[in-house]
Amino acid sequence: MAETRKAPRSFQEIILRLQNYWATKGCAVLQPYDMEVGAGTFHPATTLRSLGTKPWAAAYVQPSRRPTDGRYGENPNRLQHYYQYQVIIKPSPPDLQALYLGSLAEIGLDPALHDIRFVEDDWESPTLGAWGLGWEVWCDGMEVSQFTYFQQVGGHDCRPVSGELTYGLERLAMYVLGVDHVMDMPFNDPDSPIALTYGDIFRQTEEEYSRHNFDGATTEMLFQHFKDAEAECQRLLDFPADDPKTGKRIIMAHPAYDQTIKASHLFNLLDARGVISVTERQAYIGRVRALAKKCADAFRQTEAGMDA
Amino acid sequence: MADLLIELFSEEIPARMQGKARDDLRSLVTNGLVEAGLTYASAGAFSTPRRLTLAIEGLTAESKPVREERKGPNTTAPAAAIEGFLRSTGLTLDQLERRADKKGEVFFAVLEKPGRAAPAIIAEVLDTTIRTFPWPKSMRWGNGTLRWVRPLHSIICLLSDETGAHVVPLTVEGITASNTTEGHRFLSKGRFPVSSFDDYALKLKRAHVVLDSAEREAAIWQGAQNLAFAAGLELVEDKGLLTEVAGLVEWPVPLLGRIADAFLHLPPEVLQTSMKEHQKFFSVKNPKTGRIEGFVTVANTETTDHGATILKGNQKVLTARLSDARFFWENDLRVAKAGMGEWLDGLKLVTFHNKLGSQADRIARIAALAREIAPLVGADADQAEKAARIAKADLRSAMVGEFPELQGTMGRYYALESGEPDAIANAARDHYSPLGPSDAVPTEPVSVAVALADKIDTLTGFWAIDEKPTGSKDPFALRRAALGVFRLVLGNGVRTGLLDLAASSYIGLLFSFSQKMLLGYVGDEFENGDVIVRRTAHEKYSDEGIVSTSFNAGELRAIADSVDIFRAVSSSVSVSGTDSTAQTSIYTSYDEQPLPRTVGLSKDLLTFFHDRLKVFLKDQGIRHDIIDACLAMPGNDDLTLLVKRAEALAAFLKTEDGPNLLQGFKRANTILSQAEAKDGVEYSFGADPKFAETDEERALFTALDTAEATITPAMSREDFPAAMAAMAALRAPIDGFFTSVQVNADNPITRRNRLNLLHRIRAICSGVADLTKVEG
């Protein structure tokens, strides 16, 4: 077990320690994906790279958006925009649990003081056509991470299996830092000349986006964009693999997958606007899943996704 | 004799799977060993979150040699037959024995399986057990192909006898069996070797692992009770939670915490459910106030601060959870106090089943039916209807959204808040009952009316759309609904014909279709060449073309009794004109399956009810043939009557007279039926005592008169015991009659008279039950 370090003092220190920890464990520390996603899993570094046999190890922060969770910045721990820390390693190493516990020690969660438990929680993403088995990790009764062994993504069996760790950064940090309201959490060091809290940075945007998500966004436009993204995804995948211009085989799996991400986020926005009925919901989820599957199929035909 | 220790050490096994996994491990391994020829004295299985363990005592050291002889073909048989025999036995021709047989010389194969040493057998059996283990859900990990519930890390497979302990050589997908394991994840360091089960259990305890889940449960329960007692509080029992929590910890450490005052006004069910579902906390009650004021959480570790940090963290999570619950409760109260209209409107948006409409549609049907049932169960019709209308309102409440298991419970609270009387509020709580065989049956009249209506609507609805249970599949829990109907009807002595209720329910369903969706029917009068014209409920011809109206209930009933009804599945149906081609294209969007006619539906549903009823009554100790004898009688959809009859018949058949009378009846019936078949007439009238020739014959006339005089009024009172007692009195005269006279007498007048007399026996007895169905 790694030695527990003294407690971090800010949100960013927790992120930096995680980045550093996973870098020392051999992960490529990637940057967030530059699109609106609902969770770190949507980053192609997880979804697409968990397919095929090529080994992979990456860690990154992913800003995530869940439009329906907006509470105008008033709820102590619910946000429509928040951060996830994501680790994905293929094949899952045999000591992944120990590595994970090491990361907790790194941010000050000492098992000599805390009760850390792995409680059954099977993960499924109906929009990605993905599922896996694992746990939610509890620290003193609080869920601090999701720990999953991917079994299937985009309808493809994962061989080898990837291990995925997802930390809900705000919740975890609030606990480590002993803060009761997310907006009160120090973002940088509280002794900095210009000390900033989470609220200084995000209170206003939470208000603005909550209003936007629930009342502002134009639904006709969102519906149209959903259709456009769906059509574009299909169109990109329908291109023949051989590019006449370069003479190379270029399958546009990633650009097509971007459209899947878009469709998924548009669906989430429409859901927040309350214009998708219960019965339609399933149909929309099915449409996004169909795109995700096609992108997974396409990625498996590419260099990165092929079996070695 | 040897002892075997097996440990399968993995990452955390879900708590809910551990109990069955223990049983499976024990039975798979011991069955495998026994099948391979070993015997053992005893076997015990254990589990913790990270290990499955099996200890077998008194295992034999090797299997006995087995000698098997197999008879083959004749030595003169064609070569192909002989080759086949050689293949199946794995022998060569010169290894076969030739023996003389009745039909000549025959080949014999003598197969001798030598005894095998235990380790080889154990390795084989354990390998198979691991590879075929029936986890409810299993997974792969890393590069491997092996499946286990979570990654499997190490295996102990240790056989110990007088010569010491030996690891059984075994490797499963790169995991080689050894004699080492590890202890608690945080309170113990490194791996350690073990030499026997006792040594293993002892060392585990030193390494902060309590191996036996029963011991962990006892420790949790005792520790939690002590904590509560010391604080002047009382632990609320929860067996299921105790088992689950024992499956989450290797080293249980109970900690007691208090619920902040700000949440103590929440309903106790809310506190309890929130704490249990989200955090696996036990509830702790203040015996003075009866309120839930504290909790016990069970940590998996001992800490340097004696759990202070852990408790503080748990308390914090609880506060966040209960803040949510309070927020839900307060918001819900606002809606409830305003009469719950917001929720009732909201139910229109909730699909119950895409072929059966929304929850609101369903509630309207249940309300109408509850109104109809009310007088049958002594409920006020207005109250029953009102109760049905609001009973499911809580499904839209925030609290039930968060905790679905509180449906009904919250419904009662909210109904009271909205100003409804207890009878209605209790129906909101109780109308889902009985949910299982051990769940109590509602007895308050309004609750009974709504509960019955709810279940009958479910049954007729799914029957109408042909979603019946098949084999082990019953996704809509229709068997449970049927059982609920029986228990409600019988438990409350409700007198009603289920067929009538089912028919009403069905018409209600059609009516809701005809208003909400397009409903059409096929009738002879609309046959138009080879195109069947399907008319929708919303269209009727008039001078202007097609006008929209819907069927009224009377029309629906007539249609539902006589022709096929089709239901539009698409809302895009539109009518542009009376031109027949246009209509044809419109109707392609109809459900291809017509809805059943009322009569067909009711019969089919009644058959299902009867099948379930037989299962139910058999469990109550009533023989199936007795049930059949009663089912064959009129009024068989009145369950209370049916069961009353069956119980009386069962009691009657237990008396001495019962089986004898049954014999007499059957004899009379057989003679009569044969005579009727032979003569082609029915002997059903005109037995006259003046043609009686013997005293016994005259005595039977008198006895039948007497019995009939008692049975007829008894039957009209439904006093089955009295009717059967009177029937029992017929036993001696019938026996006497058969001993003294021959029915098929030479004199045709005498014969006819006697057959007509037998008919009286049949008629009188058959009025009570169909005794031909009773065995014996």
CA gap B483, B351 in Å, rounded: 25
Average pLDDT over residues B690-719: 90
What does each C-alpha distance from B221 to B161, B218, B242, B243 come to in angstroms? 38, 5, 8, 10
CB contact under 8 A, B12 and A112: no
More confidently predicted of B254 and B623: B254
**Residues from B in contact with A at Cβ < 8 Å:** 11-12, 14-16, 49, 137-144, 149-151, 153, 185-186, 248-249, 279, 297, 299-301, 303-305, 309-310, 312-314, 316-318, 320, 323, 349-351, 354
Query: Would you say B693 and B622 are in contact if contact means Cβ atoms under 8 Å apart?
Result: no
For residue A118, list chain B residues with Cβ-Cβ distance below 8 A: 11-12, 49
Contacts of B16 in chain A (CB under 8 A): 120
Beta-carbon contacts of residue B211 (< 8 Å; ≥ 6 apart): B46, B48, B51, B53, B200, B201, B204, B205
pLDDT tens track for B167-212:
999 999 999 999 999 999 999 999 999 999 999 999 999 999 999 9
Alpha helices in B465-497 (DSSP H): 478-491
Q: B14 and B99 share a domain? A: no
Q: Which of residues 137-196 of A touch B (CB under 8 A)?
A: 139-142, 149, 151, 158-161, 163, 175, 180
B428 and B531 in one domain?
Answer: yes
Q: Are residues B548 and B634 in the same domain?
A: no
What is the per-residue pLDDT for B340? 94
Distance CA A68, CA A78 (A): 10
Q: Are B481 and B564 found together in one domain? A: yes
Report the DSSP beta bridge partners of residue B532: B527
Domain termination residue (choose one: B206, B227, B257): B206
Give the CB-side neighbour count of residue B222, counting CA atoms within 13 A.
7
- B137 with A133: Cβ contact below 8 A: yes
As a whole number of angstroms, the distance between CA A142 and CA B271 comes to: 18
- What tokens were used for A175? 């606990």
What pLDDT is recorded for position B129? 97
pLDDT band at B242 (very low <50, low <70, confident <90, very high): very high
Asked if B502 contacts B456 with a C-beta cutoff of 8 angstroms, the reply is yes
Tell me which of A113, A115, A136, A161 to substitute to probe the interface with B (most B C-beta atoms closer than 10 Å): A115
What per-residue confidence (pLDDT) applies to B620? 83
Domain that holds residue B320: 213-337
Q: Which residues from chain B sit within 8 angstroms of residue A141, using beta carbons?
A: 279, 297, 310, 313-314, 317-318
Could you tell me the sign of the dihedral formed by the alpha carbons of A47, A48, A50, A52, in that order? positive
User: Which of B10, B48, B50, B140 has the highest number of chain A CBs within 10 A, making it the mutation to test binding with A?
Assistant: B140
Quick one: pLDDT at residue B578? 46
- Please count the CA atoms within 13 angstroms of the CA of B471 that sit on its side-chain side: 1
Q: Which of B15, B320, B350 sits opposite A76 (nearest CB)?
A: B320
- Chain A residues closer than 8 Å to B137 by CB: 122, 133
Q: Provide, as residue numbers in chain A, all residues whose Cβ is less than 8 Å from the Cβ of B312.
A: 140
Tokens representing residue B689 in the block: 């005592």
On whether both B22 and B169 belong to a single domain, the answer is yes
Query: What SS3 state is found at A172?
Result: helix
Decide which of A255 and B67 is more confident.
A255
pLDDT surpassing 50 at residue B581: no
Distance CA(B131)–CA(B126), nearest Å, equals 9
Mutate to test the interface with B, among A123, A137, A140 (most CBs of B within 10 A): A140
Q: Are residues B97 and B221 in the same domain?
A: no
Q: What is the pLDDT of residue A231?
A: 97
Instruction: Provide the pLDDT for residue B253.
Output: 97
For chain B, say whether A299 makes contact (Cβ under 8 Å).
Answer: no
**pLDDT of amino acid A78:** 87
Name A262's Cβ contacts closer than 8 Å, sequence gap at least 6.
A35, A36, A225, A229
Interchain contact, B140 vs A151, CB within 8 Å: yes
Q: Do B313 and A140 touch (CB under 8 A)?
A: yes
* Average pLDDT of the segment spanning B268-290: 94
Which residue has tokens 């037989």?
B614
**Which residues on adjacent β-strands are paired with residue A63?**
A83
Cβ–Cβ gap A161/B304 under 8 Å: no
Judging contacts by C-beta atoms under 8 Å, the chain B residues touching residue A142 are 313-314, 316-317
Question: At B538, is the pLDDT very low, low, confident or very high (cuts 50, 70, 90)?
Answer: low
Is residue B390 in some structural domain? no
- Residue B351 is nearest to which of A115, A140, A279, comparing CB atoms? A279
Q: What is the mean pLDDT of chain B?
A: 88
Quick one: pLDDT band at residue B346, thresholds 50, 70, 90?
confident
What does each C-alpha distance from B738 to A148, B411, B658, B694, B708 come to in angstroms? 82, 67, 17, 11, 20
| Measured CA distances, B94 to A73, B72, B101, B107, B603 (Å) | 90, 14, 19, 10, 69
Check CB contact under 8 Å for B137 and A122: yes
Q: What percent of chain B is modeled with pLDDT above 70?
A: 92
Of the candidates B658, B660, B649, the residue with the CA atom closest to the CA atom of residue B623: B649
Q: Give the strand pairing for A81-90 and A56-65.
A: antiparallel
Q: Is the dihedral of CA B318, B319, B325, B329 positive or negative?
A: positive
The rounded distance, in Å, linking the Cα atoms of A87 and A23 is 11
Q: Which of the 8 DSSP states describes residue A65?
A: E
Q: Is B630 exposed, middle or buried (0-12, 13-18, 19+ CB in 10 A)?
A: buried
The lowest-confidence range among B157-166, B259-268, B682-691 is B682-691
Query: Which residues in chain B have their CB less than 8 angstroms from residue A108's CB?
Result: none
Task: Identify whether B261 is part of a domain.
Answer: yes
Cβ of B299 within 8 Å of Cβ of A76? The answer is no
Q: How many domains does chain B have?
A: 5
Residue of B nearest to A52 (CA): B143
- Is A279 in contact with B354 (Cβ distance < 8 A)? yes
Provide the total of helices (H) and of strands (E) in chain B, helices listed first.
27, 25
The whole-angstrom distance between B279's CA and the closest CA on chain A is 6
Contacts of residue B349 in chain A, CB cutoff 8 Å? 277-278
Q: DSSP letter at B231? A: T
Residue B1 vs residues B30, B162, B168: alpha-carbon distances, Å: 15, 8, 15
Domain boundary among B311, B337, B363: B337
Of A111, A114, A160, which is closest to B143 when you measure between CB atoms?
A: A160
Least confident of A41-50, B521-530, B544-553: B521-530
Tokens representing A228? 């456009």
Sorting pLDDT into bands at 50, 70 and 90, what band is B564?
Answer: confident
d(CA A197, CA A200): 5
- Cβ-Cβ pairs closer than 8 A, A with B, add up to 105
DSSP state of A7: P
Cβ–Cβ below 8 Å for B143 and A141: no
CA dihedral defined by B723, B607, B489, B269, rounded to 10 degrees?
Answer: 150
Residues B606 and B565 in one domain: yes
The reply to whether B264 falls in a domain is: yes
Asked if B301's CB is within 8 angstroms of A140's CB, the reply is no
pLDDT of residue B467: 87
Q: Which residue of A has its CA nearest to B324?
A: A75
Do B439 and B511 share a domain, yes or no?
yes
Q: Which residues from A are below 8 Å from B314, CB to CB? A: 140-142
Domain CATH number, residue B749: 1.10.730
- Using a CB-CB cut-off of 8 Å, the residues of chain A touching B323 are 76
Per-residue pLDDT, B445: 96
Is there a single domain that holds both residue B308 and residue B323?
yes
Identify whether the C-beta of residue B48 lies closer than 8 Å to the C-beta of residue B211: yes
pLDDT tens digits, A87-109:
999 999 999 999 999 999 999 99
Using the beta-carbon criterion (under 8 Å), do B313 and A76 form an inter-chain contact?
no
Dist. CA B494–CA A212, nearest whole Å: 57
The verdict on B657 and B742 lying in the same domain is yes
Residue B397 resides in a domain = no
Which helix (H) or strand (E) is B457 found in, with range? Answer: helix B445-464
3-state secondary structure of B622: coil
pLDDT at B358 over 50: yes
- Identify which has the larger pLDDT, B692 or A231: A231
Q: Is the pLDDT of residue B249 over 90?
A: yes
Cβ burial B120-143 (10 Å sphere, 16+ → b, else e): ebbbebbbebbeebebeeebbbbe
Low-confidence spans in chain A with pLDDT less than 70: 1-4, 278-279
* Domain-embedded: residue B343: no
CB contact under 8 A, A141 and B300: no
**Domain-located, residue B345:** no
B45: helix, coil or strand? strand
Domain termination residue (choose one: B616, B638, B664):
B616
What is the reported pTM?
0.78
Asked if residue B176 is part of any domain, the answer here is yes
Nearest to B145 by CA among A163, A158, A122, A56: A158
Q: Measured between CA atoms, how close is A90 to chain B, in angstroms?
A: 7
Q: One-letter amino acid identity for B437?
A: P
Give B522's pLDDT tier (boundaries 50, 70, 90). low
Mean of the pLDDT values across residues B406-435?
95
Are B196 and B58 within one domain?
yes
Cross-chain CB nearest to A142 (options B186, B301, B313) = B313
Residue B308 domain-assigned?
yes
In the stretch 83-102 of chain A, residues with CB closer than 8 A to chain B read 91-94, 97
Contact B696, B736 (CB under 8 A): yes
Identify the H or E element spanning B317.
Answer: helix B308-337
Q: What residues does B567 pair with on adjacent strands?
A: B519
Measured in angstroms, the CA of A228 and the nearest CA of chain B are apart by: 24
pLDDT for residue A276 = 79
Of B279, B313, B354, Cβ closest to residue A139? B313
Q: How many helices (H) and strands (E) does chain A have?
A: 8, 9
What pLDDT is attached to residue B498?
A: 85
Q: Chain A: give the shortest CA distance to residue B365, in Å.
A: 21
- Considering the domain architecture, whether residues B602 and B745 belong to the same structural domain is answered as no
How many degrees, rounded to 5, is the angle at CA B471 between CA B465 and CA B474? 50
Contacts of B143 in chain A (CB under 8 A): 91, 160-161
Percent of chain B at pLDDT > 90 equals 53
pLDDT confidence of residue B574: 39
Q: What is the pLDDT of residue B529?
A: 45
Report strand pairing: A163-168 vs B42-48: unpaired
The residue that leads in pLDDT, B530 or A224, is: A224
Residues B571, B517: Cα–Cα separation, whole Å: 7
Q: How far apart are CA A97 and CA A208, in angstroms?
A: 39
B335: amino acid identity, one letter? V
Strands of the B152-161 sheet, one edge to the other: B42-48, B51-59, B2-10, B152-161, B164-167
Question: Which residue did the predictor score with more confidence, B403 or A291?
Answer: A291
> Closest partner residue to B186 among A111, A118, A140, by Cβ?
A111
Chain A residues inside the 8 Å CB shell of B153:
94
Residues 230-289 of A with CB under 8 A from B: 277-279
CA distance B718 to B728: 17
Q: Do B11 and A97 touch (CB under 8 A)?
A: yes
pLDDT at residue B570 tops 70 = no
